[in-house]
Amino acid sequence: MTSAPSPEPLHRALGMTDEEYAAAVDKLDGREPNRTELAMFAAMWSEHCSYKSSKVHLRTLPTEGPQILVGPGQDAGVVDVGGGTACVFKIESHSHPSAIEPYQGAATGVGGIIRDILSMGARPAALLDPLRFGPLDDPRNRYLFSGVVAGIGGYGNCIGVPTVGGEVKFAACHGPNPTVNVLCLGFAKADRVQVGRRGGEGNVLVLIGAATGRDGIGGVSVLASRTIEEDAHESRPSVQIGDPFAEKLLVEACLELADRGLLWGIQDLGGAGLTCAMSESAARAGVGADLDLDAVPLREPGMEPFEILTSESQERMLAIVRPEDAEAVEEVCTRWGLRASRIGKLRGGSVLVVRHGGEVVARLPARALADEGPEYDRQHEPPSGLARLREEDPADAPAPASLEDAFLEVLGSPGVASMRWVYEQYDSLVQGGTVLGPGADASVIRLEGTIRAVAVSTDGNGRFALLDPYLGGAHAVAEAARNVATAGARPLAVTNCLNFGNPERPEVMWQFAEAVRGMGAACRALGTPVTGGNVSFYNESGDSAVYPTPVVGVVGLLDDYRLLVRHAFPSGGLSIYLLGRTLPELGGSQYADVLLGNVTGKPPALDLDAEAALHRFLYDCARQDHLASAHDCSDGGLAITLAESAIAGGVGFTVASPEPSLPAHVALFSESASRVVVTVRPGRESEFESLAGFHSVPYSRLGLTGGSRLRFEGAFEVDLSDALVVFEGAIPSRMAGERVAG
């Protein structure tokens, strides 16, 4: 007879190490935490909530600048966009839930980021969705892709926040672990931005919105802080369920409360639910709190204290209000058809006291949960084999047999082709501020009642980051900022979503540390501080990790949106210029991926001073109205950039090689950085050229717009209409017959 194996200790089942358990005991002055307290520690000290593996690196990022009103540490970053208006923005990931249940995973990701913006007192005004999936020849990837897109649309469309941009890329390593990021930006009067205040003893905690159920329990600790393995479907109860209608009411009610000055503080309920909202609010205020779980409206009877405390039920906000305002707060909520329950109050000291059925079920310091979690400087070292991978330069491979076929293949590859199939499922117009919607380099939202507008773009190149994470991080910042500058805006600030594998593996930690270092360098050089963001680790299954994927969102300011520069060729007869230099850089390129089937070599070099000069030049060009069009040169290189401007405008072109010394395929598909294709308004050429000289931006005149063909002199030419069919047809033909989930 053998005895049954001794059961796993509870803290390990909840994802805590023995050392972390000992640290928790220490925080309780030597007392062992009870079950409820342990669940609270496990949630707040999870990777997702505590950033325990990342904060040592994130701390090195630049966060200050005159334009920054609120930097990292709050629910979202805030920049000054002039005229007394603040732009609040943040990006987050919802990859793990989306891998399990794509529709609800993506939908609740949208809901969560909207509440982050709302908790700063801002009206959510735009969403962007950077997505990564496995190749579309696999039905499971198609299911995840269509489900995620439907979920984003289902939630965003129903809540009245336009989805104005994003990007979608495909790679085999994102198959088991799709990457689902969502950026939200919103606007508030600068003097109404809600930031955590100190003190407030005696103020009442009012829980607004949905009742609390058993959905999403363990979302942060079970789902987001571990790798996804074979038994993933068993995690479905950890995925939350979204109700966008309830969230719409929540948005309107909370904004009315903020407008009427009825809020002392406000906090969203997201990962780790009430535990996180309570402990962060109290820790920020430097006080303690009393919480009565019997006052929390529940969806079902018999919920245990730890379930109520860690439930991630959606569409809830925690308002902190002065006792004399509590009644008025309840009236506003009732008018919007929302529940408002007084569930506790702030108290002096620093301890959270949680009661249930009249008994104290948890008593622990707020700061221990919110601020004093573990912190690791994990071991990091470069992956073995990386050096060899980098030596294999795709520019050394033989030229393609047919340049025309190669061009059409790259143009029709899902990472380059039109994403109309995606963005037509999103309402990009609601709120009436969308000056430039999806399908362009940046999206542009005007500030109501002014001629100013905010330009925003997201970017991230996993192939570059795989081959050189430092450069990958720097490129992500540079390209997102370049997209914003290409539209004519001045880049202001950065938010980032860092999607990586298991941080306990030294090579993943090395990729992470390098990417952060590269981002920091680029942010400093471009004058765009980091205002916050999100880290998503454990994006791996078995031996397959996602590309290291730093996704960067950049917000910029257009002084006059009527001077916005679009990417379409507006007419024939315009001079086409390429800004920047073209080098033989095919490492990690779209061309190498599609034509050679490899991700090897070195990513393009990045001269950050040249990049900054390019942005200043583009900004001056826009203000002086020199440009008829401008388009960032990135995935697929010059050939694809020209084709996209031609397709968007319905106007062909004739161009010479930018670099006759290079083989045609290298010159056309190289992804050298800091390049933009522009057309210049007739008669402005010499002013344009002298301004370029002033800014020391290299340029070459490539040719002219016009006709109905894409003509690459000395190389090949195709009909605009044929290119259009390939570009627009790529995604619909792969998704034909795929039912929309949800």
DSSP for 307-338 reads: HHHH---SSEEEEEE-GGGHHHHHHHHHHTT-
Q: Residues in contact with other proteins, total (CB under 8 A)? A: 32
Please select the residue that binds other proteins; options are 323, 429, 719, 721, rule is CB under 8 A.
429
We find the least distance from the C-beta atom of residue 425 to other proteins, in angstroms, to be 5
Tell me the three-class secondary structure of 225-269, residue by residue: CCCCCHHHHHHHHHCCCCCHHHHHHHHHHHHHHHHCCCCCEEEEC
Of 104-112, 308-316, 431-439, 602-610, which segment contacts other proteins by CB under 8 A?
A: 431-439
Instruction: Name the phi and psi angles at 526, rounded to 5.
Output: -95, 0
Window contacting other proteins (CB under 8 A); options: 112-120, 428-436, 515-523, 685-693: 428-436
Give the per-residue contact string, 163-192, with other proteins (x = CB under 8 A; - = no). ------------------------------
Measured from the CB atom, the residue of 431 and 571 that comes closer to other proteins is: 431
Q: How many Å is the Cα radius of gyration of the chain?
A: 26
Q: Which of 331, 424, 609, 713 binds other proteins (CB under 8 A)?
A: 424
Concatenating the DSSP letter of every residue in 457-475 gives: EEE--HHHHHH-HHHHHHH
Q: How far, in Å, CA of 714 to CA of 226, rounded? A: 53
Judged by CB, which is closer to other proteins: 31, or 260? 260
Selected range binding other proteins among 320-328, 425-433, 465-473, 657-665, rule: CB under 8 A = 425-433
740 binds other proteins (CB under 8 A): yes
Which one of 423, 617, 653, 727 is in contact with other proteins (CB under 8 A)? 423
Scanning the structure block, which residue is given the tokens 């994990």?
A: 378
The structure tokens 């909520």 sit at 333
Taking alpha carbons only, the member of 232, 370, 217, 364 closest to residue 300 is 217
Instruction: Pick between residue 109 and residue 151 the one whose CB is nearest to other proteins.
Output: 151
Specify the residue, 252 or 371, whose C-beta has the smaller distance to other proteins: 252
When asked if residue 241 is in the footprint of other proteins (CB under 8 A), the reply is: no
Note whether 562 binds other proteins by CB under 8 A: yes
Q: Does 337 bind other proteins (CB under 8 A)?
A: yes
CB of 741 to other proteins, least distance (A): 10
Token pair of 636 as six digits: 């697929």
**Nearest-approach distance from CB 740 to other proteins, in angstroms:** 5
End-to-end CA distance of the chain: give it in Å, rounded.
Answer: 51
Torsion of CA 113, 206, 531, 377, to 10 degrees: -90
User: x-or-dash pattern for other proteins, window 442-461, by CB under 8 A?
Assistant: ----x---------------
Is 418 near other proteins (CB under 8 A)? Answer: no
Site for other proteins contains 739 (CB under 8 A): yes
Q: How far is the CB of 725 from other proteins (least distance, A)?
A: 15
Q: Does residue 615 have an active-site annotation?
A: no
SS (H, E, C) 475-519: HHHHHHHHHHHHCCCEEEEEEEEEECCCCCCHHHHHHHHHHHHHH
Give the C-alpha separation, 455 to 446, whole Å.
Answer: 9
380 given a catalytic annotation: no
Distance between CA atoms of 674 and 471, rounded to whole angstroms? 13
Please state the φ and ψ torsions of residue 75, each to the nearest 5 degrees.
-70, -25
* Contact between residue 717 and residue 407 where contact means Cβ atoms under 8 Å apart: no
When asked if residue 37 is in the footprint of other proteins (CB under 8 A), the reply is no
Catalytic residue among 11, 48, 615, 695: 48
Residues 116-155 that bind other proteins (CB under 8 A): 150, 153-154
Give yes or no for residue 313 binding other proteins (CB under 8 A).
no
Residue 427 binds other proteins (CB under 8 A): yes
- Structure token pair of residue 686: 């010499």
Q: Which residues are catalytic?
A: 48, 94
Would you tell me which residues interact with other proteins (CB under 8 A)?
150, 153-154, 157-160, 243-246, 248-249, 336-337, 423-432, 434-435, 446, 561-562, 739-740
